[in-house]
Amino acid sequence: MPMRSFLDFEKPIAELEGKIEELRHLTDAGDINIAEEVGKLQVKVDRLLRQTYGKLTAWQKVQVARHPERPHFQDVVRILVEDYMPLAGDRAFAEDRAIQGGIGRLRGRSVIVMGTEKGADTGERVKHNFGMAKPEGYRKARRLMELADRFRLPVITFVDTPGAYPGVDAEQRGQAEAIARAIEACLKLRVPLVACIVGEGGSGGAIALAAGDKVLMLEHAIYSVISPEGCASILWRSADHAQDAAEALKLTAQDLLRLGVADEIVPEPLGGAHRDPKAALDALGERIEWALQQLVGQDGGTLKARRRSKFLEMGKKGLS
Instruction: Give whichever of 55 and 237 is closer to other proteins, judged by the CB atom.
Output: 237
**Applying CB under 8 A, which residues contact other proteins?**
164, 166-168, 170-177, 179-181, 183-184, 186-188, 203-204, 206-208, 211, 223-226, 230-231, 234-237, 241, 244-245, 248-251, 255-256, 259, 261, 308, 311-312, 314-316, 319-320
Q: How far is CA 150 from CA 25, 130, 157, 209, in A?
A: 57, 31, 17, 18
Closest distance to other proteins from the beta carbon of 99 (Å): 15
Closest distance to other proteins from the beta carbon of 132 (Å): 9
Question: E strand or H helix at 40, and its extent?
Answer: helix 32-54
Please classify residue 28 by burial: count the beta carbons closer than 10 Å to its beta carbon, then call 0-12 exposed, 13-18 middle and 19+ buried. Answer: exposed
Instruction: Give whichever of 196 and 261 is closer to other proteins, judged by the CB atom.
Output: 261
Instruction: Give whichever of 173 and 274 is closer to other proteins, judged by the CB atom.
Output: 173
Closest distance to other proteins from the beta carbon of 162 (Å): 11
Instruction: Give whichever of 142 and 274 is closer to other proteins, judged by the CB atom.
Output: 142
Cβ-Cβ contacts under 8 Å for 318 (sequence gap 6 or more): 258, 259, 260
Closest distance to other proteins from the beta carbon of 244 (Å): 7
Would you say 115 and 160 are in contact if contact means Cβ atoms under 8 Å apart?
yes
Instruction: Give whichever of 20 and 207 is closer to other proteins, judged by the CB atom.
Output: 207
Instruction: Give whichever of 50 and 308 is closer to other proteins, judged by the CB atom.
Output: 308
Closest distance to other proteins from the beta carbon of 171 (Å): 5
Closest distance to other proteins from the beta carbon of 131 (Å): 14
How far is residue 111's CA from residue 103's CA, in Å, rounded to a whole number?
A: 6
Q: How many CB atoms lie within 10 A of CB 265?
A: 19
Please classify residue 248 by burial: count the beta carbons closer than 10 Å to its beta carbon, then call 0-12 exposed, 13-18 middle and 19+ buried. Answer: middle
Instruction: Give whichever of 250 and 275 is closer to other proteins, judged by the CB atom.
Output: 250
Q: DSSP of 95-134, one letter per residue?
A: --TTEEEEEEEETTEEEEEEEE---SSHHHHHHTGGG---
Closest distance to other proteins from the beta carbon of 211 (Å): 4
